[in-house]
Structure 1
Amino acid sequence: MIWYALLVAAVAAERVGELVVARRNERWSTARGAVVAGQGHYPAMVVLHTALLAGCLLETGLAHRAFLPALGGPMLGVLLAAQGLRWWCISTLGPRWNTRVIVVPGMPLVTGGPYRWLRHPNYVAVVAEGLALPLVHTAWITAVVFTALNAALLAVRVRCENAALAGAAGPVAAA
């Protein structure tokens, strides 16, 4: 179980790294007249993502979940792919990426990288991670609860983000 706790800790550290990048990018955006939208759902998102990490550890420990290699191995692969996709999104958006909905008016929409194929590829990574991280160590209750709550939250988030982008975006440009 210690290796799983280290994996969850690594994902938590990655989240802290995201917050550092987001803060830096928020300063960049604010200096360019950024518009912030959807502040109401952001605290719920923070709580939900923190609960995912805690749930992974609590469920595996308290429910004495066994590691099943036939499930854990593929889920670790999905988790790693999700991290790769997330950082591809972050690098493609550059200073425009953020954990909040922050849009600089007049900036063109990004259509390069994973945005060439999907409008919200980062959320694909979030969904994949929310299923895979708990299932690496058979925490199926955490996977189901997070996925259900995250679906509701993402419905709000995507509507908010689409409205903010539609109201502030300039011409489309590849990145």
Structure 2
Amino acid sequence: MEIFLWMILAFLIFQRLGELALANRNRKWMVERGAKEWGQGHYFLFILLHSAFFVCIIAEFVWTPYVQQPFFYFALAGFFVLQILRIACIRTLGKRWNTRILVLPDEEPIRKGIYRFVKHPNYVIVFFELMVIPVLFHAYLTALIFPFLHLLVLTVRIPAEERALHERI
């Protein structure tokens, strides 16, 4: 089981690094089309939060004896559902998906797919990922702390996004 968990962790790290590369490509594409970036001052908080998240999962996983709990399979199912939703967000936004706040002039926010139902679905998904993923690794302290930290960062991020969208109009 531990090998399987290390594989999941490696997948997640490579996924996040791949998403950063995709975000950089999308950022370049958007800037070439006149996009303006907002909220650069708090972006480091996301990098710090997600980097610390993985460090804490690894630390808890390595430093505590692993005992598979009955709810592991519920967490694993939740993980797969969250991955599908995460991919849906990225696909729906296409080249406009980014980890930064970029607004293209004269373009309306996308309101299709999952964005028809939830204004900031990716943040909701990440919130639940920050709870579910640590449970897979019996990193319960990480599962308690990081969703809360994510919400704190969002108290800065979401208002910055809303200002960017309103000032664009």
TM over 0.5: yes
Distance in 1 between residues matched to 2:85 and 2:3, nearest whole Å: 26
4+ residue runs of structure 1 moved beyond 6 angstroms? none
Q: TM-score, normalised by structure 1?
A: 0.91
CA contact (8 A) 1:71 1:138 kept: no
Deviations 1:70-127 (A, max 9, x none): 2211111111111111111111111111001111121111110000100001111101
Distance in 1 between residues matched to 2:43 and 2:65, nearest whole Å: 33
The secondary structure found in structure 1 opposite 2:45 is: helix
- % identical equivalent positions: 36
Distance in 2 between residues matched to 1:94 and 1:167, nearest whole Å: 23
Matched, 1:16 2:37: no
CA contact (8 A) 2:128 2:147 kept: no
The secondary structure found in structure 1 opposite 2:71 is: helix
Distance in 2 between residues matched to 1:2 and 1:47, nearest whole Å: 27
CA contact (8 A) 1:59 1:65 kept: no
| Match runs of 1:84-103 below 5 Å | 84-103=84-103
Task: Give the length in aligned residue pairs.
Answer: 168
- Tell me the C-alpha RMSD between the 2 structures: 1.2
Distance in 2 between residues matched to 1:143 and 1:65, nearest whole Å: 15
Distance in 2 between residues matched to 1:73 and 1:17, nearest whole Å: 26
CA contact (8 A) 1:52 1:146 kept: yes
